[in-house]
Amino acid sequence: MDGSTRRVRVACLVAAALLGWTSVQAAAPPHLRKQGSATQLIVDDQPFLLLGGELHNSSASSLAYLDKLWPTLKAAEVNTVLAPVEWDQIEPMEGRFDFTVLDGVLKQARAHDTRLVLLWFGAWKNSMSTYAPAWVKQDTQRFPRAQTRAGVPQDILTPFAPATLAADSAAYRALLAHLKQADTQHTVLMIQVENEIGMLPEVRDYSAAANAAWHAPVPAALTMYLAAHQDTLQPALKAAWQTRGARTSGTWTEVFGDTIDTEEIFQAWHYAQFVEALTAAGKAVYPLPMYVNVALNRPGKRPGEYPSAGPLPHLFDVWKPGAPSVDVLAIDTYFPNFIHWAKQFKRPDNPLFIPEANHAERPDAGADAFYAIGEHDAFGFSPFAIDDIKGGNSSLPQAYRVLKQLAPLINRYQGSGKVRGFKAPLSYDGDVDAAPQQVRMGGYTLQVSFNAPWEKLTPAEVQTRGGLVIQSGDDEFLVAGKGLTIVFGSADGAMVGIEQATEGLDDKGRWLNGDETHQGRHIGLPGDAYTIQRVKLYRYR
């Protein structure tokens, strides 16, 4: 480089630096990244603990209506709002897109420093097809309906119509293309593909196209997956397949048996394939993380009696090979036995994300958030009906305020085995199991109770309690939540004492001793609020 070239280059660098152009690399779009056993949502190159809430279905369809909700959403302490995007609203005429409302939603969210997850209400919303535009609804020749066994058409688009997939995909692609250029600041973190897909009132579609597919061979992609995952298959599917000889080819009834369960497997495969094509089409334009959500099946109900063939645990081994582009099979939980279900959705091939964790204003919402994040590495939690939060004192905002403080530590330790979550399990009928829980963390044992020795609680009060523990050093723990009593012991028989317990994460909190630690016998988190304590232990013999 000669002197004058060097001078020009230096001058350019100085000018660029003055204008703030240098070393400003655009952050990658939001994506998922593994950390040990956890999967984290990476936003602007940093892990992001999604503390969300889902709006009522129609709240984001009117900018004037949504605008009035922000004080409530801010009081709810959410960092992310889950908001629908409606196919009929963005594509009122075929090929003519109108993103005015979506752009307004983006603008409002940014003005309130809040991120968004968008819910694509396309071909299906809760089994039905009510969000399809009029030009789809009215053209049943081009966009045929699913039918019952008796041939009665339903207000449900059949997944066996290529024209429906093409139309839904075109709209979805347009949405992603719009976001790619209109959301360079990454306000939108993820997209939910459709909503609670599931066949009703019968187990499968019996339209002519569906019946033709029913008599066709099972696709090799499914049987090859079954053969490759024999050790981890879901029990019912595994039994159905293995008792028929673990065949790698044949019709649906030959491979799985002539049962209603096989009809559900068949329908699940075809839903999954539709969603796969849609998801892949969207990702090809703008590769945001994408997930599907599912309505759970009530105990004792048979396929056809619940929204069937969605990504339910007993069908994971159909949905995983059927829709490999989908990042997360996500759970909507409206039953009391949250723990029973949440456990099943955390697998090495599936991170836990809960887009609809029952209703936002319930008294145990916060405890569920702590449990899911602490025990199952959930990267996000979001109850439904966040519009209904009544001020900042309900369980959810209280919990979110504390989880926000803990987020950097949770993000750091998630997936390393150093984070555990606690909540008393409920049965489907709502009975609570308040027995103390024992875990080992490093060289210590923890006995976690949901009441202090002197407290007599009602089952309803026990349900509102929960929390998490992070092991932040060999002898150091962070304990957070509400109403937990923790007795520390050692794994090697040494006696354990509390060297120091301190309130909060900074050095402004009280030193806790005396009555606050029951004279050194245990750590106690008060039962009337979510709080944090830092704990240092020592051993003696």
Task: Give yes or no for residue 195 binding ligand DGJ (CB under 6 A).
Answer: yes
Q: What is the DSSP letter of 429?
A: T
**Does 87 engage in binding with ligand DGJ (CB under 6 A)?**
no
Which residues does 510 contact at the CB level (< 8 Å), separation at least 6?
Answer: 502, 503, 516
DSSP structural state of residue 526: -
- Of 126 and 472, the one with the shorter C-beta distance to ligand DGJ is 126
Binding mask 142-181 for ligand DGJ (x = CB under 6 A): ----------------------------------------
Q: Which is nearer to ligand DGJ, 61 or 437 (CB)?
A: 61
Q: Total residues contacting ligand DGJ (rule CB under 6 A)?
A: 7
User: Shortest Cβ distance from residue 387 to ligand DGJ (Å)?
Assistant: 12
CB 195 to ligand DGJ: min, Å: 5
> Least distance to ligand DGJ from the beta carbon of 330, Å?
11
Query: Does 332 contact ligand DGJ by CB under 6 A?
Result: yes
Closer CB to ligand DGJ, 73 or 240, in the complex: 73
Dihedral, 248, 250, 251, 254 alpha carbons, nearest 10: -90
Compare residues 168 and 196 and give the one whose CB is closer to ligand DGJ: 196
Which one, 126 or 447, has the nearer CB to ligand DGJ? 126
Minimum CB distance to ligand DGJ smaller for 72 or for 437: 72
Bridge partners (DSSP) of residue 121 are 86
For residue 430, the tally of other CB atoms under 10 A from its CB is 12
Cβ atoms 37, 349 nearer than 8 A: no
Q: How far is CA 255 from CA 220, 242, 319, 443, in A?
A: 11, 9, 17, 49
Token digits of residue 377: 């590495």
86 scored as a contact of ligand DGJ (CB under 6 A): no
The CB density around residue 496, as the number of other CB atoms within 10 Å, is 17
- Among 87, 125, 49, CA closest to 353: 49
- Pick the closer one to ligand DGJ by CB: 196 or 327: 196
Binding of residue 57 to ligand DGJ (CB under 6 A) = yes
Name which of residues 503 to 522 contact ligand DGJ (CB under 6 A): none
Which one, of 369, 389, 388, lies nearest residue 380 by Cα? 369
Under the binding rule (CB under 6 A), the answer on residue 308 touching ligand DGJ is no
The least distance separating ligand DGJ from the CB of residue 56, rounded to whole angstroms, comes to 8
Closest residue to ligand DGJ, based on beta-carbon distance: 196
Least spacing, CB of residue 355 vs ligand DGJ, in Å: 8
Q: Give all strands of the β-sheet with 511-512 in edge-to-edge order.
A: 419-423, 466-473, 476-482, 531-540, 495-503, 511-512
**CB nearer ligand DGJ, residue 417 or residue 430:** 430
DSSP H helices in 76-219: 87-90, 100-111, 134-137, 162-182, 208-214
Residue 196, interface with ligand DGJ (CB under 6 A)?
Answer: yes
- State in angstroms the smallest separation of the CB of 57 from ligand DGJ: 5
State how far the Cα of 502 lies from the Cα of 511, in Å rounded to an integer.
5
C-alpha 372/C-alpha 423 separation (Å) is 9
Q: Pick between residue 276 and residue 332 the one whose CB is nearest to ligand DGJ.
A: 332
Bridge partners, residue 437, by sequence: 448
Task: State in angstroms the smallest separation of the CB of 60 from ligand DGJ.
Answer: 12
Minimum distance from residue 334 beta carbon to ligand DGJ (Å): 7
Residue 168 Cβ, how far from ligand DGJ at the closest point, in Å? 18
Q: Which of residues 350-389 bind ligand DGJ (CB under 6 A)?
A: 356, 384
Closest contact distance (angstroms) between CB of 384 and ligand DGJ is 5
DSSP assignment of 436-499: -EEEEETTEEEEEESS-TT----HHHHHT-EEEEEEEETTEEEEEEES-EEEEEETTS-EEEEE
Between residues 389 and 512, which has the closer beta carbon with respect to ligand DGJ? 389
Residue list 431-450, contact with ligand DGJ (CB under 6 A): none
Q: How far apart are CA 61 and CA 20, in angstroms?
A: 38
Residues that bind ligand DGJ (CB under 6 A): 57, 126, 195-196, 332, 356, 384
